[in-house]
């Protein structure tokens, strides 16, 4: 049983790891291209704008995570009607949010940009990037829903192909627009918009082919089922709050770095891009946990559920150790590849040790996020995140703020540890009381 579960987890995780790593690699290429221009303001501007887009797009990450849990459990129940219903409602919801973001973009930029307190030239570059990239909002959010559906259907190669296509196109256009045509910040943003819509086209094609094999058809009542749509929104409100808290921490981190100077801001941007690389790599096993624990709960199979949790946990721990080894041996060389601005590389090297330790500290929260998403227990994800932000991150930063950027990295590291410890405590409590399989009436 254990060996079979290991095979299933690895079969699911390896394409998820590759596809997840391709996302921050795109950010690293952006950083490398802009980091080799004549001034750090280009890199700093994109760092600010990218953080703002993280706040906007990742705030709606429930379109991916919530869809995965619902679809995985529907698959476990062999409920083909629910599979189509959750897909349709998630896509419609995503498209509506994307169009609304475009309409509201002038207000978003006007009120959000001053929060970062960046220098005048950095702010100008951030505005240029934002005004172009915002038009990719519908494509990004619909793809969230499609990728979540594919993960829940245990089709991990689907997201891999979607993300690899989008990111490959983005990288090629990045090099062409920025270095070839000299469009700098605007070129980086245009490359992303074009790539996002090409990725969406591929995602829609793949989902349609899977639905043809599954049989059945969409029905009008799926889209008009107001009660089901309300349950979808209410269920995911916890993920929305949880994600806002996480993005607040990221934005706060970037803003505090900006106050310490453009070189510190750019150095933190490089390190955070590497942090995203780590988290997305570890999320490969979290995605396996989402799909397989959700299926187990849908089938009411307690033995399979706990076996999946143990196997994904061990695999996540091993992967985290490998990331630590990789960063410890090659971190400085990687920083040298990302930028040839001596001041930025020097600043990043000073704080690299925090990043080297991060994989083994953060692995617990990434792994258990997958378990809780598959179980559709997003309320606990919200509550532990609120505690980690309000009771841990902000007080630690306040107490050690005189240490400057070192104090900022300390607060961030303790925050990640608190997230993991909180989820471990809840997991043990739920397991001891057999809460995972309790009947719920707010999901289906």
Region 96-106 average pLDDT: 92
Q: What is the pLDDT of residue 390?
A: 96
439 pLDDT more than 70: no
431 has pLDDT over 70: yes
Tokens of 228: 């089901």
Residue 437 lies in a domain: no
* Encoded tokens for 81: 């009607």
Interval 348-371: pLDDT, tens:
888 888 999 999 999 999 999 999
Give yes or no for a contact between 245 and 386, defined as CB atoms under 8 angstroms apart: yes
Which residues fall within 8 angstroms of residue 231, CB to CB, at 6 or more apart?
Answer: 442, 443, 444
Q: Place 85 in a pLDDT band, splitting at 50, 70 and 90.
A: confident
Q: Give the chain's domain count.
A: 1
Query: Does residue 443 lie within any of the structural domains?
Result: no
Residue 155 lies in a domain: yes
Q: Which tens digit of pLDDT belongs to each residue from 268-288?
A: 888 887 887 788 778 888 888
pLDDT at 75 over 80: yes
Residue scoring higher pLDDT (21 or 230)? 230
CA 229 to chain centroid: 24
CA distance 98 to 290: 25
The tokens for 76 are 């476990």
30/184 Cα distance (integer angstroms)? 10
The per-residue pLDDT for range 113-156, each reduced to its tens digit, is 777 766 677 777 778 888 888 999 999 999 999 998 998 898 88
Report residue 337: phi and psi, to 5°.
-75, -35
Q: pLDDT tens digits for 388-414?
A: 999 999 999 999 999 989 999 999 999
What percentage of the chain carries pLDDT values higher than 90? 27
Residue 438 lies in a domain: no
335 versus 423: the higher-pLDDT residue is: 423
- In-domain check, residue 426: yes
Query: Taking the alpha carbons of 198, 201, 205, 206 in that order, is the dihedral positive or negative?
Result: positive
More confident residue, 437 or 17: 437
Question: Is the confidence at residue 169, as pLDDT, over 50?
Answer: yes
405 Cβ contact partners less than 8 Å away, ≥ 6 residues apart:
256, 257, 260, 264, 268, 350, 351
pLDDT for residue 30: 64
pLDDT interval class at 23 (50, 70, 90): low
Structural contact between residues 126 and 107, judged by C-beta atoms closer than 8 angstroms = no
Residue 118 Rama label (left phi>0; alpha psi -120 to 50; beta)? beta
Neighbours of 40 (CB within 10 A): 24
Which of 200, 195, 193 has its CA nearest to residue 159? 200
Q: Report the pLDDT value the prediction gives residue 267, as an integer from 0 to 100.
A: 83
Identify whether 18 is part of a domain: yes
pLDDT digits over 412-421, tens only? 999 999 999 9
Model confidence at 178: pLDDT above 80: no
Q: What integer best gives the mean pLDDT of the chain?
A: 83
User: With 0-12 CB in 10 A as exposed, 13-18 as middle and 19+ as buried, what is 375?
Assistant: buried
- Percentage of the chain lying above the pLDDT 70 cut: 91
pLDDT at 38: 55
Please answer whether residues 339 and 44 qualify as being in contact, where contact means their C-beta atoms are separated by less than 8 angstroms. Answer: no
Average pLDDT over residues 327-336: 82
CA distance linking residue 295 with residue 199, whole number of Å: 27
More confident residue, 172 or 31: 172
Between CA 222 and CA 57 the distance in angstroms is: 26
Query: If you average pLDDT over residues 89-110, what whole number do you get?
Result: 90
Mean pLDDT, rounded, for 227-256? 82
Q: How many CB atoms lie within 10 A of CB 111?
A: 9
* Residue 439, φ and ψ in degrees, nearest 5: -65, 130
What confidence tens digit (pLDDT) does each residue in 191-214 have?
889 989 999 999 999 999 988 887
Position with higher pLDDT, 324 vs 33? 324
Residue 84 corresponds to which tokens in the numbers above?
A: 């189509």
What is the reported pLDDT for 63? 85
Token reading at 227: 């009660």
DSSP per-residue codes, 15-52:
HHHHHHHHHHHHHHHHHHHHHTSS-HHHHHHHHHHHHH
- 444 found inside a domain: no
Once rounded to an integer, what is the mean pLDDT over residues 220-233?
74
Q: What global pTM score does this model have?
A: 0.80
> Does residue 341 surpass a pLDDT of 80?
no
Q: What pLDDT shows up at residue 441?
A: 47
pLDDT-derived band at 25, boundaries 50, 70, 90: low
Choose among 118, 108, 110: nearest CA to 268: 118
Range of the domain at 299: 2-432
Grouping H, G, I as helix, E, B as strand and the rest as coil, residue 434 is: coil
Among residues 152, 164, 139, the alpha carbon closest in space to that of 15 is found at 164
Q: How confident is the model at residue 79 (pLDDT cuts 50, 70, 90)?
A: confident
**What is residue 342's predicted lDDT score, i.e. its pLDDT?**
73
Each residue's pLDDT tens digit, 155-168:
888 888 888 888 88
Cα–Cα distance between 105 and 136 in angstroms, integer?
12
In a domain, 150, yes or no: yes
């Amino acid at each position: 049983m254990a060996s079979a579960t290991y095979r299933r987890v690895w079969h699911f995780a390896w394409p998820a790891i590759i596809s997840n790593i391709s996302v921050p690699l795109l950010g690293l290429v952006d950083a490398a291209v802009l980091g080799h221009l004549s001034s750090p303001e280009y890199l700093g501007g994109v760092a600010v704008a990218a953080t703002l887009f993280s706040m906007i797009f990742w705030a709606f990450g429930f379109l991916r995570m919530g869809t995965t849990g619902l679809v995985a459990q529907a698959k476990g129940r062999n409920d083909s009607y629910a599979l189509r219903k959750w897909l349709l409602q998630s896509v419609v919801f995503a498209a509506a949010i994307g169009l609304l973001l475009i309409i509201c973009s002038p207000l978003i930029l006007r009120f959000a940009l001053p929060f970062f307190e960046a220098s005048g030239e950095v702010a100008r570059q951030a505005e240029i990037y934002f005004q172009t990239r915002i038009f990719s909002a519908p494509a990004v959010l619909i793809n969230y829903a499609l990728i979540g559906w594919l993960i829940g259907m245990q089709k991990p190669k689907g997201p891999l192909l979607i993300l690899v296509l989008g990111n490959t196109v983005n990288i090629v256009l990045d090099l062409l627009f920025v270095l070839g045509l000299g469009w700098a910040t605007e070129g980086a943003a245009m490359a992303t918009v074009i790539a996002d819509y090409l990725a969406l086209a591929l995602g829609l094609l793949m989902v349609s082919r899977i639905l043809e094999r599954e049989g059945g058809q969409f029905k009008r009542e799926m889209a008009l089922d107001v009660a089901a749509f309300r349950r979808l929104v209410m269920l995911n409100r916890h993920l929305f709050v949880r994600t806002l808290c996480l993005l607040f921490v990221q934005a706060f981190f970037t803003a505090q770095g900006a106050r310490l100077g453009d070189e510190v801001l750019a150095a933190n941007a490089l390190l955070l891009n590497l942090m995203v690389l780590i988290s997305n790599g570890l999320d490969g096993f979290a995605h396996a946990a989402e799909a397989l624990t959700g299926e187990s709960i849908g089938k009411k199979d307690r033995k399979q559920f706990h076996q999946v949790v143990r196997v994904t946990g061990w695999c996540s721990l091993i992967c985290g150790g490998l990331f630590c080894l990789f960063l410890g041996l090659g971190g400085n060389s990687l920083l040298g590849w990302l930028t040839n601005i001596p001041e930025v590389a020097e600043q990043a090297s000073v704080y690299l040790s925090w990043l080297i330790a991060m994989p083994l500290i953060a692995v617990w929260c990434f792994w258990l996020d997958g378990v809780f998403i598959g179980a559709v227990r997003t309320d606990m994800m919200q509550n532990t995140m609120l505690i980690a932000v309000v009771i841990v991150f902000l007080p630690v930063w306040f107490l050690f703020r005189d240490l400057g950027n070192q104090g900022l990295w300390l607060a961030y590291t303790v925050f990640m540890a608190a997230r993991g410890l909180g989820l471990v405590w809840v997991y043990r409590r739920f397991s001891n009381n057999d809460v995972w399989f309790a009947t719920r009436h707010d999901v289906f």
